[in-house]
């Protein structure tokens, strides 16, 4: 993880309290003299509308951590009186923010699509490449033939990069197997990543990513396979998995689009997923609006992702629903599109919005949330405050972990980023580099 260069000074067992008589609680780690602490606290749950701009700033702040959990947050003077700690970090001239939650990724895949990158530079569109049998299907072939260890090793290397750019929680979808055995192989890789990598991982089953070639003549039969064969096995696997043990939910996603699945097929897959305990999510309105948004709201999707062509009145309906809008601007950037999802109108209409990389080998070979945030500021006119809450607390709600990660509040998992700069807005102002000086994941200092 070469991009994140740790320059913090960690002191051991240093007393920060002048008043010797005060009874102090013991903590493992204490960050103090934090110039700006952006807690992203959300007392009312997911942020909507004007709440996105409230990053819960505390100046001259401190955070105390014990057993991986945040136990004290407040003014530095108060917290340093109340806690002594095994390790302390002086954060003078640094901002501290929550670890990013990347709520939409396809991190596990075989091969790459660098040849398609060149085809697109030469003028081919993403949809033309997909219609010609490339795109997702090309990655499917590489993923089917890759052995499990190789898939794990390549995904782990990607996760290292993502963590170096501040993503401490990452959702990972299947969807490059498109047959039962390979979809389950990907789920096992996702589980092993969760067990062996510092990032908190959330699994999503995306068997309905596209129709594989062997079902091209009968797409309906593939939908039946997803519903009748894959979903029951996925649900069985989840029940005995590390995720169920940890209380981490599993989601079911579907790509609702031309050359993928109709809103009606998507409905059947998501409803079957719900019957098996998988919460619904959807890729929708990326290229064509097909009333998938209305369907997503009706079935109760936790999030509706992409939304590039979503306009009124669908935006108003999203604002009145519990479905979180997840624009994915790294896709537009990567595909060289001038148009972006209208996240500004979504926020102004009162929607709840979250951002993500959509890391995948085709539409978004993008590791880091800082680039996503920088892009959303410039092309979607979101403020640095808004891109921070959309990338942390709201993204945590988009993966069902809003009560566990995404903000710096007492009782939450201690996932924090010490920035190189004193002003949190620099995380999206300068771009192309890494704004992070030190990552803390579940209370542990991540070393570069
Ligand atoms: O979110 N749009 C559908 N799925 C992915 C792309 C996957 C790929 O191109 O491999 C996405 O953009
Ligand atoms: Fe995606």
Backbone angles phi and psi of 206, in degrees to 5: -125, 50
Residues 169 and 28 in one domain: no
Residues 80 and 127 in one domain: no
Residues 154 and 54 in one domain: no
**The pLDDT value given to residue 259:** 83
Task: From the CA of 135, give the closest atom in ligand 1.
Answer: 9
Q: Is the pLDDT of residue 168 over 60?
A: yes
Q: Is the pLDDT of residue 442 over 60?
A: yes
Q: Is the pLDDT of residue 227 over 60?
A: yes
Confidence of residue 12 (pLDDT cuts 50, 70, 90): confident
Confidence of residue 22 (pLDDT cuts 50, 70, 90): low
Residues 301 and 385 in one domain: yes
Residues 337 and 442 in one domain: no
Number of domains in the chain: 2
Buried b (16+ CB within 10 A) or exposed e, 399-430: bbbbebbbbbbeebbbbbbbbbbeebbbbbee
Residues 45 and 105 in one domain: no
Residues 114 and 84 in one domain: no
Q: Ligand 1, residues 103, 106, 139: which to mutate, most atoms within 8 A of Cβ?
A: 106
Q: What percent of the chain has pLDDT over 90?
A: 92
Mean pLDDT of 325-346: 97
Domain ranges, residue 335 = 101-398
Q: How far apart are CA 101 and CA 142, in angstroms?
A: 28
| CA of residue 362 to ligand 1 center, whole Å | 6
**Looking up tokens 């509308």, which residue turns up?**
49
Residues 160 and 170 in one domain: yes
Q: Are 309 and 285 in contact (CB under 8 A)?
A: yes
Residues 301 and 163 in one domain: yes
| CA of residue 385 to ligand 2 center, whole Å | 25
| CA of residue 381 to ligand 1 center, whole Å | 24
Residues 285 and 429 in one domain: no
Residues 230 and 374 in one domain: yes
Residues 65 and 151 in one domain: no
Domain containing 78 — which CATH number?
2.30.40.10
- Over residues 390-422, the pLDDT tens digits come to 999 999 999 999 999 999 999 999 999 999 999
Q: How much is the pTM? A: 0.96
Domain containing 317 — which CATH number?
3.20.20.140
Pocket lined around ligand 1, Cβ cut-off 6 Å: 106, 135-136, 139, 255, 283, 286, 331, 358, 360-363
| CA of residue 84 to ligand 1 center, whole Å | 48
Atom 3 of ligand 1: nearest residue by CA position: 255
């Amino acid at each position: 993880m070469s991009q994140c260069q740790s320059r913090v000074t960690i002191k051991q067992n240093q007393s920060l309290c002048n008043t010797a008589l005060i009874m102090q609680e013991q903590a493992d780690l204490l960050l103090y003299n934090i110039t700006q602490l952006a807690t992203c606290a959300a007392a009312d749950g997911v942020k909507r509308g004007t709440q996105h701009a409230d990053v819960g700033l505390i100046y001259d702040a401190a955070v105390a951590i014990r057993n991986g959990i945040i136990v004290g947050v407040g003014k530095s003077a108060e917290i340093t009186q109340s806690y002594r700690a095994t390790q302390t970090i002086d954060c003078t001239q640094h901002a501290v923010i929550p670890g990013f939650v990347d709520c939409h990724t396809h991190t596990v895949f075989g091969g790459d699509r660098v040849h398609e990158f060149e085809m697109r530079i030469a003028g081919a569109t993403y949809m033309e490449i997909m219609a010609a049998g490339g795109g997702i299907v090309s990655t499917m072939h590489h993923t089917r033939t890759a052995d499990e260890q190789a898939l794990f090793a390549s995904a782990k290397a990607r996760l290292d990069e993502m963590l170096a750019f501040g993503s401490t929680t990452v959702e990972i979808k299947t969807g490059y197997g498109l047959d039962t055995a390979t979809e389950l192989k990907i789920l096992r890789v996702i589980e092993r990543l969760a067990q062996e990598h510092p990032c908190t991982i959330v699994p999503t089953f995306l068997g309905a990513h596209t129709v594989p070639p062997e079902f091209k003549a009968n797409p309906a039969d593939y939908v039946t396979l997803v519903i009748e064969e894959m979903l029951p096995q996925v649900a069985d696997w989840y029940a005995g998995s590390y995720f169920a043990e940890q209380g981490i939910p599993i989601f079911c996603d579907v790509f609702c689009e031309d050359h993928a699945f109709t809103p009606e097929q998507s409905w059947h897959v998501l409803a079957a997923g719900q019957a098996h305990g998988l919460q619904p999510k959807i890729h929708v309105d990326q290229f064509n609006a097909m009333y998938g948004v209305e369907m997503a709201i009706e079935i109760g999707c936790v999030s509706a992702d992409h939304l590039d062509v979503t306009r009124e009145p669908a935006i108003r309906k999203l604002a009145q629903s519990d479905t979180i809008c997840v624009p994915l601007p790294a896709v537009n950037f990567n595909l060289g599109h001038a148009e972006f999802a209208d996240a500004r109108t979504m926020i102004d209409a009162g929607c709840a919005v979250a951002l993500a990389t959509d890391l995948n080998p085709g539409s978004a070979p993008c590791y880091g949330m800082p680039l996503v945030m920088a892009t959303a500021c410039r092309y979607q006119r979101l403020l640095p405050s808004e891109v921070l809450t959309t990338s942390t607390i709201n993204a945590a709600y988009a993966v069902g972990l809003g009560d566990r990660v995404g903000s710096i509040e007492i009782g939450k998992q201690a996932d924090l980023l010490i920035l190189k700069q004193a002003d949190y807005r620099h995380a999206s102002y300068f771009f192309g580099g890494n704004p992070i000086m030190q990552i803390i994941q579940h209370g542990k200092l991540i070393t570069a």
